[in-house]
């Protein structure tokens, strides 16, 4: 609702002051017969290939400029050189300067020759990449529309010349804009809606849908993500698209609870409340009754109201008078998934935790940031577990996989005498000089894949092994071989 209201309000205000004229102006569109609609799909597929070329070229020059800067080449010198190149290109073909809408309108009016449009396409294609990847600022939204307009015009004119067709360059220019916008940015629905809004014309919806969807499908299959997601992955950010996002169910609140909590009795004077805040790093105090049950919460930002009238009221106010009685609780056996719902609903940064066995006993607080950290750690462990499992599917069950020279991975069954003991108790690292990276609980071997695996875990020192578990071990190749022999003999 908020998005709709804000966008409609912004549009209404801008149209009131700037007018209701569309950005792109053109005459009557000729869509062609239904038998020619296949060309719109071909246009989209070609736009997808060009989008892939744009993204991969962009990534290539990003690495190239990064290597230059690593070799102590001055970024200022590089930017000046590219600026001069851009200036020379703009002096030669000023149509590439600016946001490009004026030049697009001239293409829609057939004011450029095919040769000029091809030159504009090549200049825009490379100069945008050079500027952005060398360290300049800007986006690829408008450039992708400009490239699409050039491509759509060239596509239609090329087919008209080669096969003596009568395709309308204006329609193909518009569809090309949507196709390149969808291909480079992976926004097919947005591309369709934006073209409608910027043209005030809905008659070419079917050609536009064919072009944008065709382009998006090609880039999505080839690149498995948009240019923005690929950029984030290079920066080290990962996303759990397609994964079960309820992994926080496996962690209990008590595992992340901080034991330090600031408590004050209800009868504490306001001066003691202020002193407690000044003497501690906490920004929250919990008020308890004589039975040690929390009856209210005092936030540090609440004190400004107290301080405003402190001289008149400090001898009258008690902690119970200042405290907010609206307090939410968690129990130690609750899951972090349940905790996240409470954090989202109440918009708090920390929640007091009660002992599930003794609900009157306060054991600490759960902080929102700690939940996020636990989620990221668990996600990283799952990513590693999945990677190990996929690697081992390609091996024979009795094989080793050398990771780096002298170090290998292997899978072994849990020896019978190890069952019922924790990894820390067995001291595998000290005694056998190997590490257990992953455990598959009570399942068929990861090598075989003949049976659905029950659960993959990244164990800690307290993990207790079971007889039907399978271990993924890592260490020096000789140590791994020796441990496999010991496990097989036992």
Higher pLDDT, 403 or 13: 13
Residues 395-489: name the CATH superfamily: Regulator of K+ conductance, C-terminal domain (3.30.70.1450)
Furthest CA-CA distance within the chain? 95
User: Is the model's pLDDT at 296 over the cut of 80?
Assistant: yes
Q: What average pLDDT does the chain have?
A: 83
- In this structure, whether the domain defined by 248-372 belongs to CATH 3.40.190.10 is answered with no
Q: How many CB atoms lie within 10 A of CB 261?
A: 18
Q: How far is CA 456 from CA 252, 445, 450, in A?
A: 18, 11, 16
CA angle 392, 396, 398 (to 5 degrees): 105
Any idea which of 157-171, 294-308, 417-431, 473-487 has the lowest mean pLDDT?
Answer: 294-308
What pLDDT shows up at residue 441?
Answer: 73
* Bridge partners for 413 per DSSP: 470
Instruction: Find out whether 135 and 79 touch, Cβ atoms under 8 Å.
Output: yes
Helices (H) and strands (E) in the chain, counts: 19, 11
Q: Do domains 13-234 and 248-372 have the same CATH topology?
A: no
Q: Which CATH architecture has domain 13-234?
A: Orthogonal Bundle (1.10)
- Asked if 415 and 486 count as a contact pair (C-beta separation under 8 A), the reply is yes
pLDDT band at 97 (very low <50, low <70, confident <90, very high): very high
Alpha carbon distance 392, 407 (integer Å): 16
What pLDDT, on the 0 to 100 scale, is given for residue 311?
62
pLDDT(169) > 70: yes
Lowest mean pLDDT among 296-305, 386-395, 435-444: 386-395
The residues spanned by each domain of the chain are 13-234, 248-372, 395-489
Band the pLDDT of 375: cuts 50, 70, 90.
confident
**pLDDT (tens digit per residue) in 410-441:** 888 888 888 888 888 888 877 888 888 778 77
**pLDDT per residue as tens digits for the range 21-80:** 888 999 899 999 999 999 999 999 999 999 999 999 998 998 899 888 877 788 889 999
How distant is the alpha carbon of residue 40 from its chain centre?
A: 32
**Nearest of 156, 134, 130 to residue 143 by alpha carbon:** 130
């Amino acid at each position: 609702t908020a998005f709709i209201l804000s966008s409609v309000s912004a549009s209404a205000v801008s149209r009131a002051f700037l007018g209701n004229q569309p950005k792109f102006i053109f005459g009557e569109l000729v869509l062609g017969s239904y038998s020619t609609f296949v060309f719109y799909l071909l246009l989209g597929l070609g736009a997808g290939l060009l989008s892939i070329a744009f993204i991969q070229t962009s990534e290539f020059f990003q690495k190239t400029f990064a290597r230059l800067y690593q070799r102590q080449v001055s970024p200022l010198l590089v930017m000046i050189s590219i600026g001069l190149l851009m200036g020379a290109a703009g002096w030669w073909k000023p149509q590439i300067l600016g946001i490009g809408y004026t030049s697009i309108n001239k293409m829609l009016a057939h004011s450029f020759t095919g040769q000029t449009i091809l030159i504009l396409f090549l200049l825009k294609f490379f100069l945008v990449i050079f500027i952005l990847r060398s360290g300049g600022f800007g986006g690829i939204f408008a450039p992708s529309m400009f490239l699409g307009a050039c491509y759509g015009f060239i596509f239609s004119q090329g087919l008209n010349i080669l096969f003596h067709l009568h395709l309308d360059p204006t329609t193909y220019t518009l569809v090309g804009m949507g196709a390149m916008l969808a291909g480079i940015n992976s926004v097919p629905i947005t591309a369709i809606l934006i073209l409608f809004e910027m043209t005030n014309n809905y008659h070419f919806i079917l050609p536009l849908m064919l072009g944008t969807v065709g382009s998006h499908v090609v880039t999505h299959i080839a690149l498995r993500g948009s240019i923005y997601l690929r950029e984030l992955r290079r920066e080290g950010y990962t996303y759990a698209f397609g994964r079960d996002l309820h992994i926080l169910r496996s962690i209990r609140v008590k595992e992340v609870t901080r034991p330090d909590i600031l408590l004050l009795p209800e009868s504490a004077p306001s001066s003691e409340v202020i002193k407690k805040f000044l003497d501690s790093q906490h920004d929250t105090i919990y008020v308890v009754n004589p039975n040690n049950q929390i009856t209210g919460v005092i936030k540090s930002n609440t004190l400004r109201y107290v301080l405003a009238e402190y001289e008149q009221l400090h001898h009258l106010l008690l902690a119970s008078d200042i405290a907010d009685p609206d307090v939410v609780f968690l129990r130690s056996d609750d899951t972090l998934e349940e905790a996240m719902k409470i954090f989202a609903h109440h918009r708090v940064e920390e929640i007091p935790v009660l002992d599930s066995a003794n609900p009157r006993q306060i054991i600490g607080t759960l902080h929102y940031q700690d939940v996020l950290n636990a989620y990221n750690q668990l996600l990283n462990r799952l990513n590693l577990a999945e990677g190990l499992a996929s690697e081992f599917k390609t091996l024979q069950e009795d094989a080793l996989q050398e990771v780096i020279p002298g170090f290998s991975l292997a899978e072994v069954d849990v020896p019978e005498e190890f069952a019922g003991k924790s990894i820390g108790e067995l001291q595998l690292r000290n005694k056998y000089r190997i590490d257990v990276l992953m455990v598959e609980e009570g399942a068929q071997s990861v090598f075989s894949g003949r049976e659905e695996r029950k659960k993959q875990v990244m164990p800690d020192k307290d993990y207790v092994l079971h007889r039907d578990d399978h271990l993924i071990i890592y260490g020096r190749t000789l140590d791994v071989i020796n441990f496999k022999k010991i496990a097989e003999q036992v």
